[in-house]
Structure 1
Amino acid sequence: MNVREEARQPAEVYDAQFVPALFAQWGPVVCAEAGVQKGDRVLDVACGTGALTLAAAEIAGPSGSVVGLDINPEMLAVARRKPVQIEWLEGTAEALPFPDNSFDAVVSQFGFMFFEDKPKALSEMMRVLKPNGRLAVAVCDAVENSSGYSAFALLLDRLFGKKVGDAFRAPFSLGDAGRLREISREAGLADAEVVRRNGKVRFKSIDALVSTERACVWTLGGVLTDEQFERLLDEAETVLKPFTVRGGTIEFDMPSLIIKARES
């Protein structure tokens, strides 16, 4: 496989495009909400290629230890190339391969909405926390609260129908604080708190945003034909123009909701 072909793999696209544009900024935020500190043992659930895991490792330092767990071996393959001292494991959030009371903090960002059994996953994260251990789980807020992505979703509806628009909306499906509190109660987290924090989406151009979304297997990957993609690119130049800044960079808010809990 040549380098160009490898770069087209979903995990490569995610790490090269989505992480700097969206996800890297959230690592320190989620770690702060979980109170991660020097010397902690930390677990990152649904770690992907390691955006949050790397932030946790930087804070915990050499006196701490960090584990990144993901169900996707391709994501982990990219993560393992990072020059950091992190243990990368393949596994599911609903059956964490650790004994009780293993971690000072458990964190997770932008994977929870894709878990099959969300209450079970939360209860598993709490199970592996030490007494007084801290949990922070971030999900995308509702798409309507992200002006650029909301406009993009409506454009997809108009051009290709609601089914395609809803495929794009999948990562925003848990953007409801009430629903997150309900899931937390189902998991036995009676004292869980849900907080809202704001972040930014930044792509170098409208073309870069649209091309990256088209390559994403979790949303539009494989959904659009080449002809449809060209039409989307053309229309997006107009629809997303209000969100462009400095030399064509596209930028807009993308808030998240974070479930916070503490093990007693």
Structure 2
Amino acid sequence: MSGNDKGRVEASPAEVYEEFFVPALFRQWGPRVVAEAGIVPGERVLDVACGTGVLACAAAERVGPGGSVVGLDPNPQMLAVARRTSGAIEWVDGRAESLPFADDSFDAVVSQFGMMFFDDPPAALREMLRVLKPGGRLAVAVCDALEHSPGYAALAEVLQRLFGEKVANAFRAPFVLGDVERLLGFCDQAAVAEARVMRHDGLVRFPSIKALVSTERACAWTLGGLLDDAQFQRLQEAAKPALRPFINAEGRIEFVMPVLIVTASKASSTECGWVA
């Protein structure tokens, strides 16, 4: 697909996510979240807000043929792409706040980059805990605060200057849970015991500034539908100087994007804590 070269990606939001966001941002986190959850071969794993399945597939590789993985998402387009990605995983339509599974069903429950968009994060955490077996492990990843991701912070400033707070805040939406105390507060509300939050550094990599901006414009969860063609051209021009400091020797744009990962065990006590 050459949609980035045209300034607009002609694809469904789920296809945009899979083709552009997964390699640029999300694929690197699947194995890391799986490791944080302590998943081992033979286990049964649930991926909540699975999207197109990048984390579920990483979990499936880890559990092997003796284990099983279920991916759950409320978006039928995401699930359609996920089903094309892997037929070995059970893909289920459902919401994080009302998981359609019995108590004590899974050895591990994982989620990456979905909780920022949940209607009720504490309710979702309670549900994740409910379906975990005693001693089961939880690992949930969210984007850290925008100011810790310098390339995206620079783009947010450009959006604020050009189009005002409404558009800039739409772009900032994925970063709203980048706050350790807020995450631990959700854990307290959900009675998630001994929750820990750890920061991990990752990288955002796009082939060009134009590719990054085009993909963000096409993202249904942030800028999708907010900018017309003339506004998009203004953004492309203004983004060039703002993002130039993040161009590497190969001409690709690259910058750090930290992630916060919440981990807990169902069998733990009630103390929460922060790990730097």
Note whether the superposition's TM-score is higher than 0.5.
Answer: yes
Q: Which residue of 1 aligns with 2:63?
A: 60
Matched, 1:230 2:233: yes
Alpha carbons of structure 1 residues 7 and 158: separation in structure 2 relative to 1, 3 Å: closer
Residue 39 of structure 1 deviates from its aligned partner by 0.8
Paired letter, 1:73:
P
The 3-state SS of whatever aligns with 1:175 is: coil
Helix, strand or coil for the counterpart of 1:245? coil
Q: Which residue of 2 aligns with 1:160?
A: 163
Q: In the alignment, is the contact (CA less than 8 A) between 1:113 and 1:174 conserved in 2?
A: yes
Residue in structure 2 matched with residue 69 of structure 1 by the alignment? 72
- Partner of 1:154, secondary structure, is helix
List aligned pairs for 1:33-52, cutoff 5 A.
Answer: 33-52=36-55
Equivalent residues, number: 262
> Match for residue 104 of structure 1?
107
For structure 1, the 5+ residue unaligned runs are none
Q: Give distance in 2, aligned partners of 1:106 and 1:27.
A: 13
Q: SS at 2:80's partner residue?
A: helix
Does the CA contact (< 8 Å) of 1:11 and 1:49 recur in 2?
yes
**8 Å Cα contact 1:67-1:88 kept in structure 2:** yes
* Cα contact 2:45–2:106 (8 A) shared by 1: yes
Shift of 1:82: 1.3
Deviation at 1:84, TM superposition (A): 4.2
SS at match of 1:93: coil
Between the aligned partners of 1:154 and 1:17, the Cα distance in structure 2 is 23
Shift of 1:7: 5.0
Tell me which residue corresponds to 1:123: 126
CA contact (8 A) 1:21 1:203 kept: yes
State the AA in 2 paired with 1:121: A
**What is aligned with 1:172?**
175
Give, in whole Å, the separation in 2 of the partners of 1:153 and 1:56.
33
Structure 2 distance, partners of 1:53, 1:247, is 32
Match status 1:146 vs 2:149: yes
SS at structure 1 position matched to 2:194:
coil
The offset of 1:117, in angstroms, is 1.1
Following superposition, the deviation at residue 247 of structure 1 comes to: 2.9
Cα distance in 2, alignment partners of residues 248 and 158 from structure 1:
26
Paired AA for residue 229 in structure 2: D
Q: What secondary structure sits across from 1:18 in the alignment?
A: helix
Q: Structure 1 residues 49, 31: closer, same or farther in 2, change over 3 A?
A: same
Aligned-partner Cα distance in 1 for 2:257–2:116: 16
Q: Which residue of 2 aligns with 1:17?
A: 20
Aligned to 1:27: 30
Matched, 1:204 2:204: no
Matched, 1:241 2:239: no
Shift in alpha-carbon separation, 1:150–1:261, aligned structure 2, 3 A: same
Q: Secondary structure at the match of 2:226?
A: coil
Where 1:101 maps in the other structure, the secondary structure is: coil
3-state DSSP of counterpart to 1:94: coil
- Aligned equivalents of 1:46, 1:252: Cα separation in 2: 26
CA RMSD of aligned residues (A): 1.5
Aligned to 1:221: 224
SS of the aligned residue for 1:63 comes to coil
SS of corresponding position for 1:248: coil
Residue deviations 1:159-196 (CA, integer Å, cap 9, x gap): 11121111100000000000000010000113111111
Matched AA of 1:199:
G
Q: Is the 8 A contact 1:206 1:248 kept in 2?
A: no
Q: CA deviation at 1:246?
A: 3.1
Residue 41 of structure 2 aligns to a residue whose secondary structure is coil
Partners of 1:8 and 1:99 in 2: how far apart? 36
Contact 1:6 1:12 in 2 (8 A): no
Q: Using the alignment, how far apart are the partners of 2:139 and 2:28 within structure 1?
A: 15
**Structure 1: distance between partners of 2:201 and 2:62:** 21
- Aligned partners of 2:9 and 2:16 also within 8 Å: no
1:251 and 2:266 matched? no
- The percent identity for this pair of structures is 63
Displaced runs of 4+ in structure 1, greater than 4 A? Answer: 3-7
